[in-house]
Amino acid sequence: MNPLEERIGYKFRNSLLLAEALTHPSVGHETQRHHFNNQRLEFLGDAILQLVITEYLFNHFSAEAEGQLTKLRSRLVSRETLRVRAAALDLGRYLMIGRGEEASGGRERASTLADAYEALIGAIYLDSDLETAGKFILAQAKPDLEEVAEEPVDINPKGHLQELLQSISPRSPAYELISESGPEHDKTFVVKCVWENMVLGQGSGRSKKQAETAAAIDAMKQKVWEKRNG
């Protein structure tokens, strides 16, 4: 586990906690034996993540009302945001998962990565304290926190993108489903945003709507149309 500990900047005293955080429930399902998994740590990590982000927003956005703070928090702890953070740590590569889950692309699944990320937070908290877990959360969230500081007003990404593009051309962007995977109760949708024969962005989510929103956000980050016109 040393390479992962280097990536996260934290050395576990109890390595079993890290092993538990990285164990997907599919391991126990396949062996038909009682086997620890990361679901309890995920439950704990989710609560700690919410608390740390809530406290940060409360202290740094003193002019914002409760409703706006809730929207900002949702943005910072969304499944897609956590998936991106987990992917940046290459967390999927360190997961212990069942063979069936592996075969169906479990290591890249947004829900699996987001859950493991929350479980990792729970494990760090139990291995140390709230302050240490908080430092990890805020260090990881730094780019997103800076983005929120620049644009705290919650926008409608699809509507915003459409307005941007319609100032260039009357055509609206289209959203095309690339794939859907996972069981019926926990599907992951991947969508691309297309405009003027260009793929502007791609996103994933637990619903087509979520995936389209993620694709619109990706498109606004990449600004492919500016490269073509520039």
How confident is the model over 14-27, as pLDDT tens digits? 999 999 999 999 88
Residue among 109, 112, 168, 128 nearest 48 (CA): 128
What are the structure tokens assigned to 180, written together? 């859907």
Look-up of token digits 């928090």: 73
Domain spanning 157-229, CATH architecture: 2-Layer Sandwich (3.30)
Give the list of residues 6+ apart from residue 8 with CB closer than 8 angstroms, or none.
89, 120, 124, 136
Give the gyration radius of the chain's Cα atoms: 19
Superfamily of domain 2-150: Ribonuclease III domain (1.10.1520.10)
Measuring CA to CA, how many Å separate 7 from each of 4, 70, 88? Answer: 5, 30, 9
89-119 pLDDT, tens digit per residue, is 999 999 999 888 878 877 888 889 999 999 9
The interaxial angle of helices 66-76 and 39-60, nearest 10 deg, is: 130
Q: What is the DSSP letter of 77?
A: T
For residue 43, which amino acid is it?
F
Model confidence pLDDT, tens digit, residues 137-185: 999 999 888 877 776 655 678 878 888 888 888 888 999 999 999 887 7
Which pLDDT does position 109 carry in this prediction? 86
User: According to CATH, where is 1.10.1520.10 located in the chain?
Assistant: 2-150
Residue ranges, CATH 3.30.160.20, the chain: 157-229
Residue 193, beta-bridge partner list: 175, 201
- Catalytic annotation, residues: 46, 118
pLDDT band, very low/low/confident/very high, at 50 (cuts 50, 70, 90): very high
**Residues of 90-126 as b/e, b for ≥16 C-beta within 10 angstroms?**
ebbebbebbeebeeeebbebbbbbbbbbbbbbbbbbb
Q: Which tokens is 223 given?
A: 């600004």
Residue written as tokens 């877990």? Answer: 133
- DSSP-derived letter for residue 108 is G
Beta strands in 102-173 (DSSP E): none
- What pTM, to 2 d.p., does this model score? 0.67
Distance in angstroms (rounded) separating the CA atoms of residues 160 and 150:
16
